[in-house]
Amino acid sequence: MRLKSLTLVAASAALLAPTTSPAVTAPHRLPEEPPARSEGGVRAADLLARVRHCRPVSRGRYRPDAGARATIPVCELRGAVFWKADMDIDCDGRPTARCNRRTDPQFSPAAAYAQSDGRRLDAERLPYVVLPAPSRIWDPGAHGVGGGSVAAVVYRGRVQYAVVGDTGPRDLIGEASYATARRLGIPADPLGGGVRSGVTYIVFKHARVDALEDHAATVARGERLVRRLLDGTPPQNR
């Protein structure tokens, strides 16, 4: 929900640029990102076929960004809810090399939920998605969805498992952590990253992991839940 423009930043940089050539120094390079890939053995096309039709569970619709039209409903499946939206980048939580006050002016040192040991979530490394805060539009908790809920995020043929790790504004939807975007091949820069459309978020009801930071457990649980969703078998809460 935080698509930010770099236009003003670039303009300011141009005005402040020195008139003489500065000394050339070797730039500091962060470790290279691993290539984007689909996670698990479920095909994205099979998941998208399952969410082709929407049975709205929300009473209204959400905006993808502040000032945009409200066009996005939350839909219901057996054992899950889903929505199709954009993806804005959430860097909130533990400060890291790519998620901090310098890289993200809207950075917050705390997400809505924490690790099992009480430490802050690491948005740079932990795939998580953001839920809208409860409102008259939709109350996630009333449908068995909240912090630690297992999710599957689909984008351009890739599937990424994640947990619910943060909450956002009541009327906006379509946001995930830096790590979620990076693993899906979406530009993850909190200032100018994200994508305007084409992302499907599937969040499973009454299916939470105890340790949000345990991504391996999230993937294993997500694989079982997705296969049950595709097979049409009743969901299990364990």
Distance of alpha carbon 229 from alpha carbon 77, whole angstroms: 9
Instruction: Check whether 104 has a pLDDT greater than 50.
Output: yes
The tens digit of pLDDT for each residue in 141-184 reads 999 999 999 999 999 999 999 999 999 999 999 999 999 999 99
Instruction: Check whether 12 has a pLDDT greater than 70.
Output: no
pTM score:
0.84
Q: Which residues contact residue 94 at a Cβ distance below 8 angstroms, ignoring those fewer than 6 apart? A: 109, 119, 120, 121, 122, 123
Binned at pLDDT 50, 70 and 90, residue 213 comes out as: very high
Contact between 171 and 59 (Cβ < 8 Å): no
Which of 232, 166, 175 is closest to 199 using CA atoms?
A: 175
The tens digit of pLDDT for each residue in 186-210 reads 999 999 999 999 999 999 999 999 9
Name the more confident of 36 and 156.
Answer: 156
Instruction: Check whether 14 has a pLDDT greater than 70.
Output: no
Q: Which residues contact residue 184 at a Cβ distance below 8 angstroms, ignoring those fewer than 6 apart? A: 36, 87, 153, 155, 156, 158, 160, 199
Share of the chain above pLDDT 90, in %: 80
* Average per-residue pLDDT for the chain: 87
Between vectors from CA 124 to CA 62 and to CA 138, what angle results, nearest 5°?
Answer: 20
Q: From residue 108, give the alpha-carbon distance in Å to each of 123, 127, 168.
A: 11, 17, 12
Which token pair is 105? 């002016």
Question: Which residue's entry shows tokens 């084409």?
Answer: 198
Q: What is the pLDDT of residue 40?
A: 74
Of 18-22, 31-35, 134-138, the one with minimum mean pLDDT is 18-22
Distance of alpha carbon 160 from alpha carbon 47, whole angstroms: 12
Distance of alpha carbon 207 from alpha carbon 216, whole angstroms: 15
Residue 115 phi, psi dihedral angles, 5° rounding: -70, 170
Residue 86 phi, psi dihedral angles, 5° rounding: -85, -175
Count the neighbouring beta carbons within 10 Å of the beta carbon of residue 115.
17
